[in-house]
Amino acid sequence: MSLMNKTPDRRKFLDSLEMGVSYFSDYSTNFNKVVTISHNDADGISCLLIIQNLLYKMNLAYDYFIYNRSVSWKNYLNGIFPKRKDKKTAYIFTDVGSNLSELIPIIKTRPEYFFILDHHEVESIITPDEYPENLIFINPTLYGFDGLDHVAGATLAYMFAKRLKSSIIKQGWLTVIGIAGDSLKSMDKLQSFNKEVYQELAMEEVFIDKEGLILFGSMHSSIKNGLKHSILPFVEGFGGETDKKIKKSLSDSGIDPNKKVIDLTDHEINKIQEITNLNSIGNYAVLPQKQGLLKFAFEHALLLNILCFKNISAALSVIQLKKVTRYAKNVYLEYVDSLAKNLKILSNELPKFETEKAIFINVKGKIPPSNWSDTASFCSVNELLDPYKIIFLGGLEKKSQTIKLSIRCTRKFLEENNGRGVNTVISGIKEELGGTGGGHKLAGGIRLSRASYKRLKQDVDRFIEY
């Protein structure tokens, strides 16, 4: 359901939020336990802890589960629901749950109350009068808001929780992590409710808002490492390069390569922008109660995203720590180093096949399959290639002998194509060429036979315009 051109209706969204809050407040005295189900990324983990803090403050017993979208809701929930149905249990979904066509038939058979707080676009058009009485569905995209630019999952969870317990503001740093991880931009570029909540929390001194050189991925490190490992922006000519080359460029400009990014003077920042041809001044969030890598909201969120796919227990642990563990730090450094090198390879070395609407990139064994998705994502976010074309990055997967593709597009592409994005293109490809896969407007993936891949390359513009 495309809402790209729909004007946001602030009043209607806030009315729906207030109604959901009222329902939860009124019925909470009947709940013996509240189960939270959240997504396995930084935004989802932040949502989970915000809601857990709320339930603790309300003296409600709680439990939680993490959903990674690898199985259907039916199979997943069958493993969670108790055999005996219990009206005194409630479920809160955060950062997931907009698959209403799949969830509503399940919820209709249950006596429990379901509160869904999600910011992803609803996959099918279902009107509120079709919702079962035990479903309270709160989603800002229904009212014209953008789920990435306007309202992160953690923003929505915070707005919900704060209306029930104003003291939740002390946990607002969790919201900042969620916003940083989902928005993928400097904090001065935030919009709508993300911006409002961020500014409110800054005024309450829950975190510190700072302005400076933005090298997201390495804000906690030296300028040498910052230029080498920054993934947003990716600094062409420096990203993924050798220490020797970066040190020489900095030293030749009179800048200490080991000076911390956050300690650079205005003169040094201007000099760095000259030698890198970079324009990257902006605002970033610092969490004063934390140390090192965890002190910086974007880096904290990125670490959570990495751990969520490697070790979910470590992710749930590290968000509550003041200082990063050695294991988590090593995982983080390995990730940013590999990603920066892969973005360099993509920019300079990989063969590309271009049409009017698409760019195909064959990794040719130079980027491991496990890194294809993130490399494609940060290539798109950084607009390393033509932002008005869809990126198809991938190659032959030896195990399955199929062509695996990570597909990405930019906001600029969506605006020029009336909101038609990656998920729609993938649906059209599957309908005609077969294959398996899916995604959302900006990102997705598909596996195709070699013959189908050949046909896709020959006729890709038709699938994009279809």
Identify the H or E element spanning 424: helix 422-433
Closest CA to 332 of 179, 221, 224: 221
Same domain for 33 and 176: yes
Is residue 424, in this structure, part of any structural domain at all?
Answer: yes
Tell me how many degrees the CA angle 24-25-27 measures, rounded to the nearest 5. Answer: 65
Q: Rounded CA gap, 466 and 235, in Å?
A: 36
Is residue 407, in this structure, part of any structural domain at all?
Answer: yes
Same domain for 279 and 187: no
Model-level pTM?
0.92
Each residue's pLDDT tens digit in the chain (466 positions)?
Answer: 444 457 899 999 999 999 999 999 999 999 999 999 999 999 999 999 999 999 999 999 999 999 987 788 999 999 999 888 878 899 999 998 888 989 999 999 999 999 999 998 887 778 888 999 999 999 999 999 988 789 999 999 999 999 999 999 999 999 999 999 988 999 999 999 999 999 999 999 999 999 999 999 999 999 999 999 999 999 999 999 999 999 999 999 999 999 999 999 999 999 999 999 999 999 999 999 999 999 999 999 999 999 998 899 999 999 999 999 999 999 999 999 999 999 999 988 788 999 999 999 988 788 888 899 899 999 999 999 999 999 999 998 888 889 999 999 999 999 999 888 998 899 899 999 998 887 778 889 999 999 999 999 999 999 998 7
Same domain for 457 and 412: yes
* Bridge pairing between strands 390-397 and 402-408: antiparallel
Tokens representing 305? Answer: 């995203």
Same domain for 126 and 221: no
Strand partners, 116: 93, 137
Tokens representing 390? Answer: 């869809």
Place of tokens 């993490």: 66
Is residue 1, in this structure, part of any structural domain at all?
Answer: no
User: Taking the CA atoms of the chain, what radius of gyration do you get in angstroms?
Assistant: 23
Tokens representing 210? Answer: 């700072």
* Maximum C-alpha span of the chain: 72
Is residue 330, in this structure, part of any structural domain at all?
Answer: yes
* Distances from the Cα of 333 to the Cα of 225, 229, 237, 299, 330, angstroms: 10, 9, 20, 11, 5
* Residue 54: CATH number of its domain: 3.90.1640.30
* Distances from the Cα of 164 to the Cα of 21, 168, 465, angstroms: 7, 9, 46
Same domain for 213 and 193: no
- The range of the structural domain enclosing residue 225 comes to 209-342
Number of domains in the chain: 3
Same domain for 171 and 218: no
Same domain for 258 and 150: no
Q: Choose the final residue of a domain: 295, 318, 342.
A: 342
Same domain for 366 and 303: no
Written as one letter, the residue type at 129 is D
Same domain for 196 and 240: no
* Residue 446: CATH number of its domain: 3.10.310.40
Q: Rounded CA gap, 429 and 424, in Å?
A: 9
Is residue 2, in this structure, part of any structural domain at all?
Answer: no
Helix axis angle for 172-183 and 153-164, nearest 10°, is 160
Q: Choose the final residue of a domain: 313, 342, 371.
A: 342
Please, where are the H alpha helices in 120-242? 153-164, 172-183, 192-203, 223-229
Place of tokens 């429990």: 112
Is residue 75, in this structure, part of any structural domain at all?
Answer: yes
Tokens representing 16? Answer: 């729906």
390-397 sheet: strands from edge to edge:
352-354, 358-362, 390-397, 402-408, 443-448, 436-439
